[in-house]
Amino acid sequence: MSETSEFDRLLTQLPLWLETSRKRAAEGKVASYIPELSKMPQSALGIAVLDANGRTASAGDCGIPFTMQSISKVFTLILALMDNGEAAVFDKVGMEPTGDNFNSMLKLELVRPGIPFNPLINAGAIAVSSLIAGADSEEKSSRILSFFRKLAGNPSLELDEDVYRSEAATANLNRSMAYLLKDNGVLEGGVDEVLDVYFRHCSIKVACADIARMALVLAFDGADPLTGESLIPRRYVQIAKTFMITCGMYNASGEFAIQVGLPAKSGVSGGILTLVPGRYGIGVVGPALNRKGNSIAGVHLMETLSREFDWSMF
Ligand code: GLU
């Protein structure tokens, strides 16, 4: 199918496919372990698909704001790689899927050296937060926000202060994990400071169009096709996309690779950032999650699109 006819079909069909997928939301559950997240609407589903000419096909509730949560981990990893290089980052965090929950600290005690298995589980992302350059948590957080604004082409990205405070007040598990990491010699700096950087980047508020634009930069190997600006070295995009394929969708990453076949990262707020290499950046939001923690309606919609347009990379 030619690029134009595919995009035309996307424009006309997307709202119909979205409404079919939206029905799945009733079977999911909105995350509540961060209390503020439970306010997200159960039946919401939105998507934005952005191409290299700046055309957008969007449908449903694509305008609702949501926090990036684990989606942010892809980009803090990239920033940490840009700040430190590969050797220093992978000295503190591994490259393997775990098979454990995103917030598990099981293997930090069982496996030596006690470094996290990968940068997309919480322990790994907390280790990565400590590698971001900056004199203190404020400077690190502001460098992360500036980087995300640049990638999203949106200078007004901000934190959702309520979600940030809600997570900071309830994150007992992440706190204990960070102390264990500190004891294992993985974290640079004070535990509270590192956690503050982590909670803040998880709380950056976006809409589907923002993460579609960030994904488009990854789809074009680090160069923003809309401005021609090179934002990320190609090697680091390659690393990030490989983690997205192998561990981006929690313990359903294998299933997503088989059913959809695209690099993706989801978050507990119901967001999914995904991309079709060399073609589209895609942002999805659907707060009702399946048992593996991914947006139940969002995954269904991506399965439909991948099948209809034969988008799988495999
Ligand atoms: N901030 C969340 C946490 O640490 C992110 C989890 C996620 O989206 O997977 O629990």
Question: Which among 202, 218, 234 is the end of a domain?
Answer: 202
Closest ligand 1 atom, residue 203 Cα: 1
Q: Compute the distance between CA of residue 284 and CA of residue 60 in angstroms, rounded to an integer.
A: 10
Q: Compute the distance between CA of residue 310 and CA of residue 307 in angstroms, rounded to an integer.
A: 5
**Does residue 184 lie within any of the structural domains?**
yes
Read off the amino acid at residue 57.
Answer: A
Percent of the chain with pLDDT over 90: 92
Read off the amino acid at residue 13.
Answer: Q
Residue nearest to atom 4 of ligand 1 (CA): 122
Q: Which domain holds residue 194?
A: 70-202
Residues 24 and 76 in one domain: no
Residue 164 has pLDDT above 80, yes or no: yes
Residues 227 and 301 in one domain: yes
| Number of Cβ atoms within 10 Å of the Cβ of 27 | 12
pLDDT in tens, 14-33: 999 999 999 999 999 999 99
The tally of domains found in the chain comes to: 2
Taking the mean position of all CA atoms in its chain, how far away is CA 151?
13
Pick from 305, 271, 256, 311: nearest CA to 16: 305
CA of 78 to the centre of ligand 1 (A): 18
Residues 135 and 239 in one domain: no
* pLDDT value for 3: 67
DSSP state letter for 99: S
**Does residue 314 lie within any of the structural domains?**
no
pLDDT in tens, 238-291: 999 999 999 999 999 999 999 999 999 999 999 999 999 999 999 999 999 999
Residues 211 and 62 in one domain: yes
| Ligand 1-lining residues (CB < 6 angstroms) | 69-70, 102-103, 122, 167, 174, 202, 267-268
Question: Which among 202, 236, 263 is the end of a domain?
Answer: 202
pTM of the predicted structure, to 2 decimals: 0.97
The CATH code of the domain that includes 157 is 3.40.710.10
Positive/negative CA dihedral, 220, 158, 264, 27? negative
Residue 46 has pLDDT above 70, yes or no: yes
Structure tokens belonging to residue 144: 């992360």
- Rounded to 10°, the helix 137-152/72-84 angle is 110
